[in-house]
Structure 1
Amino acid sequence: MNKKLMRTNYSDKVLLGVLGGIARYFGIKPIILRILFVIGLIPTSFLLIIPYTILSYFMPREQAEESTSR
């Protein structure tokens, strides 16, 4: 099994696709990770935005799937 940590393009993307990509990598629903992220923003005074921004810069984007069926 060859899993890669990548930002999602469309299916699980809300803002930049970071949380959707992490959720896909760990096999959990993206909404659960997004809720935990928002809950985590409150006590940390929005310090989670820094690693989110860094991850959005360094995580590669998922390649768009091209349909080749004719």
Structure 2
Amino acid sequence: MTHTTPPRPPYKQLRRPVTDRMIAGVASGLGRYFAVDPTLVRVVFAVSGLLTGGLALLAYPIMWFLMPEEPADAPAWPHPAQAAPPTVAQPTVAQPTPPTYPPAA
């Protein structure tokens, strides 16, 4: 009796991307991991920094130090095989054919 397991999708990893970053990629990495816009993460960092008198901003350099950088050859997250939305077929428009004329006599 053979037991085969279905292939599992790759697991999410909290990493700092090398392509889409503002300072160190911490907010972008958190945004990718939690599937939210990195701009929202940056706003949360800024607001929490203002509300705590800058104390919450200490988390950024700590995460910068602790989060590994994504390898350059790593596939983009979310992986294209999983994140690709279903494609909608575009209607084709018939191109007009040029008129044909009888040969001149």
**TM-score under structure 1 normalisation?**
0.83
> Per-residue deviation at 1:63?
1.0
Q: Distance in 2 between matches of 1:35 and 1:52?
A: 13
- Give 4+ residue runs of structure 1 displaced > 2 Å after superposition: none
> Per-residue deviation at 1:49?
2.1
Residue correspondence of structure 1 range 1-70 to structure 2 within 5 A:
1=9, 2-11=11-20, 13-65=21-73
Larger helix fraction of residues: 1
Percent identity among equivalent residues?
31
Unpaired runs of 5+ in structure 1?
none
> Per-residue deviation at 1:23?
0.5
Tell me the number of residue pairs that the alignment of Structure 1 and Structure 2 aligns: 65
Question: Which structure's CA Rg is the greater one?
Answer: 2
**TM-score under structure 2 normalisation?**
0.57
Question: 2:45, 2:57 within 8 Å by CA — same for their partners in 1?
Answer: no
